Copies of this chain bind each other. A is one copy, B any other.
Amino acid sequence: MEIGQHISQRYNEELEQIRNKVLQMGGLVESQTKKAIKALLDHDQDLAKDVATSDQSVNQMEVDIDEECTRVIARRQPTASDLRLVIAVVKVITDLERIGDEAEKIARYSKKLAKNPNVVDTHSELSHMSQLVLSILHDSLDAFARLDAEGAVEILGRDEKINKELDKLSRLLLTYMMEDPRHIKNALRVSWCARSLERIGDHAQNICEYVIYLVKGKDVRHTSLEHIRSKYFPHDIDVSES
């Protein structure tokens, strides 16, 4: 799939610009997520505050890109893969913006957790889960940048691991809460953070689905992974490793 094969040089540039802006927005959201996670794991209040302030730029980017997409549709009347690109972008940026929201939530709880003595030790579990989520987010942005549908399908298989980690963490938190009522507040905060991490993973997976749609022209949402693989990628990819 290639973008930028139009006779009008200006049109090529417009599509390329939209794509670049999405990548830029993705980069910002990824860095926000990383910071929020670092604030959570290191009890870093300053970093947590930092995340809250960059949210505005993400929001503005969403509005700008949306406007540009509408303009391109109205002026260039794109069809086929160009139109799919624009529609995919409109969807992807919604997920990106919501990832930014979740990062902000994590930062907010991190601030509270950092202020309170932390007797609820879930550092290694949170750290493990964060790594999974960050890699899914990074790889889906990468799949979007390279228009890599195979990569996107591989990522779709990974959320099961995140769910398992969330389940384990929730069980651990429950034991802390039952052990001593004074643990409950902090355990709940950790639990909200973990849910936000899970949601970031979900949004990243949505992005992967749009990448597949964009490249293959097929809407694979609400379709089982087995079905997607056998139908659109019959010959390739070993997804046994993460």
Residues of A whose CB lies within 8 Å of any CB of B are 56, 59-60, 62-63, 66-67, 69-70, 73-74, 77-80, 83-84, 87, 90-91, 94, 174, 177-178, 181, 184-185, 188, 191, 219, 221-222
Chain B residues within 8 Å of A63, by CB: 219, 221-222
Chain B residues within 8 Å of A59, by CB: 221-222
CB-nearest residue of chain B relative to A192?
B195
- Specify which of B77, B87, B222 is in contact with A77 (CB 8 Å cutoff): B77
Number of copies: 2
Chain B residues within 8 Å of A174, by CB: 184-185, 188
Q: Is the CB of B84 within 8 A of A87?
A: no
Q: Is the CB of B73 within 8 A of A83?
A: yes
CB-nearest residue of chain B relative to A220?
B63
Q: Please report the C-alpha to C-alpha distance between residue A195 and residue B94 in the assembled complex, in whole angstroms.
A: 20
9 closest Cβ pairs, A-B complex: A59-B222, A178-B181, A77-B77, A74-B79, A63-B219, A177-B184, A74-B83, A70-B87, A73-B83
